[in-house]
Amino acid sequence: MRVICLAICLIIYATVQAQRISAPALIPAPVEMQLQPGAFQLQPGTVIVAPEELKTTATLLNEYIGFELPIQQTSTAKGIHLHIDANAVKEAEGYRLSISQNEIRITAHDEAGILHAIQTLRQLKNNNSFQSCTIKDYPRFAYRGMHLDVSRHFFPVSFVKHFIDILAQYKYNNFHWHLTDDQGWRIEIRKYPKLQSVAAWRDETLIGHKKELPHRFDGVKYGGYYTQEEVKEVIAYAAARQINVIPEIEMPGHALAALAAYPSLGCTGGPYKTATFWGIFDDVFCAGKDSTFNFLEDVLDEVIALFPSPWIHIGGDECPKTRWNACPLCRLRMQQEKLPDADALQSYFIKRINKHVRSKGRKIIGWDEILEGGLAEDAIVMSWRGTESGAARQVIMTPEDELYFDHYQSLYTEEPLAAGGYTPLPEVYAYEPLKDVKGIQGQLWSEYLPTITQAEYMLLPRAIALAEVAWSPQHVKDYFGFVRRLKKQSIQFNEDISYKENVVYKEKLLITLQGKAAIYYTTDGSIPDAKSKKYTAPITITRSCILKAKNEDRIFTQAFNIHKAVGATVTLAQAPNTRYTGNSNILVNGIFGSNRYNDQQWLGFSGRDLDAVIDLGTVQTVQQVGANILNYHWQRMWEPVSLKFYASEDGLNYKPIAEESRFPINGINNIRLKAGAVKARYIKVKGVNKGIIPTGEYGAGGNGLLMIDEIIVE
């Protein structure tokens, strides 16, 4: 019996010991890690041993671990040893970390590697001890960046430093500082004082979303800028944390704030005003005037003098050609330079700026529009519109769908206002860039980030997920493990309830809910609590209702609309040909798409007509037909010229039963039309696409996008 008891005790002890040395919550996950029993304990006699050139980094180590340890160049005392050896650690920014009961030893390829190891050490700290282990670590991508737009909303230096702290903690190495745009110029340029007194300010700011009509404004003057001394302060702060700061000075588009200050730089001469509205504007820097280039070269000279970054970002995106095509000086420039069109003029513009930047020993970065007309020599491309530009020589992947953190991260109705789209945490973590690219970067645009609190909410934890994508090798990535590590680090984020619908029979849905902890729900629209029905199996929906569900987090809400076509067979003559694609049966699944159009409930037809046939299964009396049409011209989403409904009993002979040609709402037009008690098994729906977007409208000359959600039969 004693032997059995001893064996049990040994098993329990071994289990406890295993738990004690369970894998720590490191983010990003290291390349290799081996844990050993024991720990290094910080004590009053502990010292940091570091050469003079690592004194700044050693000081940061003290700051991070919360101890004021003496920093010595040599010592035999128990301590933390910092050492650079590029022969022992071959990978740039790589490090080796060894922790025993007697010492902590960090050997790195360079000072950046030392700092990354310190960040790992910071995450390993448990009270005043560090778990014994050996770690081999280095980055997957050389460029790991995060972008912050301070033009639409201005953030103080204190927040910019906090932003940099977050980047350093998760081993980013580049901070992309978006300093100028239509809505504000945020950097002091001493040669042009009106950039501070005029361009840095706007009269008021849009209230709500730009898609909401009529537009409303707050009537409050808004603005600010960073002095050159503040810029130097931020750069030094970032450099100490091994982060390069890349300034962005937008050109030739997104220039309205600068034109407000110096109207002669535009094609028309103004007057101009700093934009109060989010969007793209026709007034851009005039490419036909040498004075434009003189101005921009002067600006860049001051910027280059401030920023040691090897790269200067010059924007290059979303530049309308309306003014250039009408401008005599721009047309003369095209003639003199033998340029076939205004797109080639933009390439000329970028290449001319590139020549100046290269003369200063730097290289330009631009959004992927700088590829149009030919890429400037040595230019680096930030690919935001897709993966096509990944074939360029030097590319940083910044895809809008996966890495724009101004997108919604949840489909909950109470989610704070955002730009659009839907980029949840799992999608960011699952992003896999093309091989052989320079690196990847997340974007935090600030149109809908009026406060620091909202900026942080949109940034985290998605930026942490991207950090692991950028640093860790593929074989160590694991989303569920990542979430567990987030929780261990006490990173707050919403684990929302999600749902999946299945049509199990005509006019009948089966709804599956998923989420952490116990879920309670109602179907009468009331707020659920612990006294409500507990979710244990899929919910059957046979009538229109509002399902609300709650666990530890927010309340999930989804309306279901049951009608005769729910679960019917849908046949499309032409498939949707946009990002808004999916199974045609989402047109009759009883779920209406939202005006955020990010819920995968909409089908989009670019330049194509809608031609759908709904098979109800049997001949029935149809009283009413309808559909939901999305009308957002600012997103190239146009109402159809007409929407017509036809009925047939045999699927061969159709007769018209209803038609609509008016779609007046900016947003969702809920079309409901009387059908006259017609007998039908088949309902055909035809929507005539707008075709080419008219001159003067956003996206003029391109195809209109017909967006349709539910086809309703009553």
Which tokens in the block code for residue 401?
Answer: 């769908």
Q: Where are the beta strands (DSSP E) in 128-182?
A: 129-137, 143-149, 174-178, 180-181
From 165, 297, 318, 343, active-site residue? 318
Distance CA 59, CA 80 (A): 12
Do 267 and 323 meet the contact criterion of CB atoms below 8 Å apart? yes
Query: Distance between CA 654 and CA 658 in Å, rounded?
Result: 12
484: phi then psi, degrees, rounded to nearest 5? -60, -40
254 is catalytic: yes
3-state secondary structure of 632: strand
Q: Which residues contact 530 (CB under 8 A, 6 or more apart)?
A: 520
Give one DSSP letter per residue of 545-563, joined into a string: EEEEEESSSPEEEEEE---
**b/e sequence 34-66, b meaning 16+ C-beta within 10 Å:** ebeebbbebeeebbbbbeeebeebbebbeebbe
Find out whether 67 and 42 touch, Cβ atoms under 8 Å: yes
Known catalytic membership, residue 341: no
Q: Helix H segments across 415-461?
A: 425-430, 452-459
The whole-angstrom separation of Cα 475 and Cα 598 is 31
Using alpha carbons, select from 680, 679, 704 the residue that is nearest to residue 691.
704
Contacts of 686 (CB under 8 A, 6+ apart): 609, 610, 611, 642, 643, 644, 646
4 SS3 class: helix
Residue 440: closest CA among 483, 380, 374:
380
Q: How far is CA 425 from CA 180, 464, 552, 649, in A?
A: 29, 10, 19, 48
Residue type, 225: Y
Q: Is 137 marked active-site?
A: no
Q: Which of 254, 313, 407, 563 is an active site residue?
A: 254
Q: Rounded CA gap, 113 and 137, in Å?
A: 9
Is residue 511 within 8 Å of residue 501, measured between CB atoms?
Answer: yes
Local structure of residue 154 (DSSP, 8 states) = -
Beta strand extents in 252-393 (DSSP E only): 311-315, 363-367, 380-383
Give CA–CA dist 72/52, Å, rounded. 9
**Identity (one letter) of the amino acid at 563?**
H
CB 69 within 8 A of CB 93: no
| Catalytic residue, candidates 93, 149, 181, 182 | 181
Burial class of 492 by CB neighbour count within 10 A (0 to 12, 13 to 18, 19+): exposed
Query: H-helix or E-strand containing 232?
Result: helix 228-240
List phi, psi (to 5°) of 16.
Answer: -60, -45
Q: Do the bridges between strand 520-522 and strand 533-534 make them parallel or antiparallel, or are there none, so unpaired?
A: antiparallel
Cα 104-107-111 angle, rounded to 5 deg: 115
H/E segment holding residue 72: strand 71-72
C-alpha to C-alpha distance for 128 and 43, rounded to whole angstroms: 8
Q: By the 8 A CB rule, do 314 and 252 touch?
A: no
Handedness of CA 127, 130, 131, 136 (dihedral sign): positive
- Helical packing angle, 290-306 and 342-359, nearest 10°: 40
CA distance 21 to 228: 49
- Residues with a catalytic annotation lie at 181, 254, 318
